[in-house]
Chain A
Amino acid sequence: MKRGVGLWIAALSVYAFLYVPLAVVVLFSFNDSELNAEWVGFTTRWYAKLLSDQTMLQAAANSLFIAIVSSTVATVLGAMAGLAMHRYKVRWLAFLALTPVAMPEILLGVSLLLFFRQVLDLTLGLVSILVAHITFSIGFVAIIVRARLAGLDESLFEAARDLGATPWMTFRRVLFPLMMPGLLAGYLMSFTLSIDDFVITFFTAGVGVTTLPLQIYSMIKVAVTPEVNAVSTLLMALTLTMIGLASRLAPETLRGKG
């Protein structure tokens, strides 16, 4: 009994450690005061203010655009990588696709910056951010897709051929539908990673284009305003929804069973 209580306290403090800061942000986004100091009263005016802030809206639009395009491309490429990793059990193939997942973001950011500027002589902007986001998302999609494929019975594809399906029809009618939950999960994962990425975006954004995380950062350099709390809360809600959806669609990947 005693040990049970101790365990509960330990668990609760860990969760408190994780979630209290987030809860404070959410709470103060509804606080009717300019200062993040004490609770004055409930309001939604910071959210209204967000909606009339042109810079903020532009940043949000950029973020959404980048997230949608990069996760779409990353899902297609990542699915191919995952398929290849599953089909041809070549060590270095998996290694190459998965390295960006484990690579420190700062390293990836710096190396992409050098690559774009020194090697390609590209002006940093939307394209460079997109390429960067696609790069770090592919590995995640590949892992999810491969886990999904590993759980499938190979004889299903032979059964399809046996019952008259050409290789293409086998892909369309059997393999693709069975991969679908993995693809969706991979897409949502990439979307989440992209929309709240700061470090890599910071290195590859250049001057012209701002995303939501970059915008938040430039605002808090002055002060943590309630508006920052509000936009952070929205971002958090979006991220949680995505993660929730992804874990529903591909539980074996995100719950560590695959």
Chain B
Amino acid sequence: MALLEFRNVSKRFGSLLAVDNVSFAVDSGEFFTLLGPSGCGKTTLLRMLAGFDAPDAGDILLDDKSLAGVPPEKRPLHTVFQNYALFPHLTVEGNISFPLEMAGRPKDEIRRRVAGMLALVHLEEKEDAFPHELSGGQKQRVALARGLVNKPRVLLLDEPLGALDAKLREEMQIELIALQRNVGVTFIFVTHAQQEALALSHRIAVMRAGRIEQLDEPDRLYGFPQNRFVADFIGKINLLDVDVLESTPDRLSLAAKGLGTLTAPPVQGVQPGAHGCLALRPEQMRVVAENEDTGLPNHFPGVVRDLLYEGDVTLYRVVLRNGTALEAMIANSAPGRPRFFEVDDRVEIGWRPEAGRYLHD
């Protein structure tokens, strides 16, 4: 039985359909992420779950019971807001005890649990500090502790790492994973950063314009995007426009305009004559000098247009005959050795047929 379920939920703001017939279920103990560009309806979903907004249609269920009409304070869910929303007139200790006091817990229990929470988020020394005396990362930890201290069934996190700088964000990601594992609370996490979603989540719902485009595990989402939007949104990807020549149970034969034919893994239900694109991850591409053999059935000549040195890898942008640019990510050789290719080098770029994925338009 799912812990939490959205059933055909819609929400309208004037003429804007902010959430469009969304359904999904979250299991107990899951780290579930809503991922999508800004304005796609993630916060609106969280607000309906927390009880600040009511759905126009559909239902939200917790333990198979509808939450309709239940006020926010009666829902066993707590939220970590993007700006933390720490109470400025209360100390760290006062902020973390707040939910326990509201729940009417006895004083000694409150003291014990707050102390435990402070230890868990490494803030024992800051107990008596006020929020304005804390750094961004510390505020973040207080907000997490406050959200978790009364053991909610689900913790909602709305872009909680958005306000932190890159290095701190990475540290907090690691802490979040450990924290969630330790407390065993179900997390519903909202972000527009795909790398963050991939790093943290058990499952991810990719959203666009109020709808869920794909709901999958991170590696499935990365490896098998179901459409152009998801492929483009998750990680770096090359999209090559193609027409379907032949579709058999064990392979697709495709034609790329101005290039020639190539093969790809089969996709069910695709008819010859269909139009779509072939999605190729840059790290799956191979590049060799123009007179060498790639040893791969799918390969085309091209010219290195740009390159981006990133330390461990270099990103080469190769322009093909028909003007399409493909990116190839190649691990660099040992330090001090020359780069494999330079700008304007003529090369041959190829990939294994299994590396490509046909996406129907």
Query: CB within 8 Å of B: which residues of A?
Result: 153, 155-156, 158-166, 169, 173-174, 177-178
Contacts and interface: CB of A to CB of B under 8 A. Distances in A.
Closest 9 CB pairs of A and B: A164-B102, A159-B85, A163-B99, A161-B72, A155-B85, A177-B89, A162-B79, A165-B102, A164-B73
A155 B83 CA distance: 9
Contact of B85 (A158, A166, A173, A177): A158
B87 A156 contact: yes
Contacts of A155: 81, 83, 85
B83 A163 contact: no
A165 B73 CA distance: 6
Contacts of B102: 163-165, 169
Contacts of B88: 156, 178
Contact of B79 (A159, A165, A166): A159
26 contacts: A155-B81, A155-B83, A155-B85, A156-B88, A158-B50, A158-B79, A158-B85, A159-B81, A159-B87, A160-B87, A161-B51, A161-B71, A161-B73, A162-B51, A162-B73, A162-B79, A163-B73, A163-B98, A163-B102, A163-B150, A164-B102, A164-B150, A165-B73, A166-B73, A178-B88, A178-B89
Contacts of B78: 162-163
B16 interface: no
Nearest to A164: B102
Interface in B57-86: 71-73, 77-79, 81, 83, 85
B340 to A, nearest CB: 51
Nearest to A169: B102
Contacts, number: 57
B52 interface: yes
Contacts of B83: 153, 155
Interface of B: 50-52, 71-73, 77-79, 81, 83, 85, 87-89, 98-99, 102-103, 146-147, 150
A178 B83 CA distance: 18
A158 B98 CA distance: 13
A165 B72 CA distance: 9
A163 B79 CA distance: 8
Counting chain B CB atoms within 10 Å of each CB, the highest count among A156, A160, A164 belongs to A164
B103 A174 contact: no
Nearest to A176: B89
Contacts of A156: 85, 87-88
A166 B101 CA distance: 12
B343 to A, nearest CB: 50
Contacts of B150: 163-164
Contacts of A161: 51-52, 71-73
Given A161-B72, A165-B102, 11 more contacts: A153-B85, A158-B72, A158-B79, A160-B98, A161-B51, A161-B73, A162-B51, A162-B77, A163-B102, A163-B146, A178-B88
B114 to A, nearest CB: 13
A153 B103 CA distance: 24
A162 B72 contact: yes
B99 A164 contact: yes
Contacts of B147: 163
A109 to B, nearest CB: 40
A174 B78 CA distance: 17
B87 A174 contact: yes
Contacts of A163: 73, 78, 98-99, 102, 146-147, 150
A164 B77 CA distance: 9
A169 B71 CA distance: 14
A164 B104 CA distance: 10
Counting chain A CB atoms within 10 Å of each CB, the highest count among B81, B85, B147 belongs to B85
A100 B102 CA distance: 41
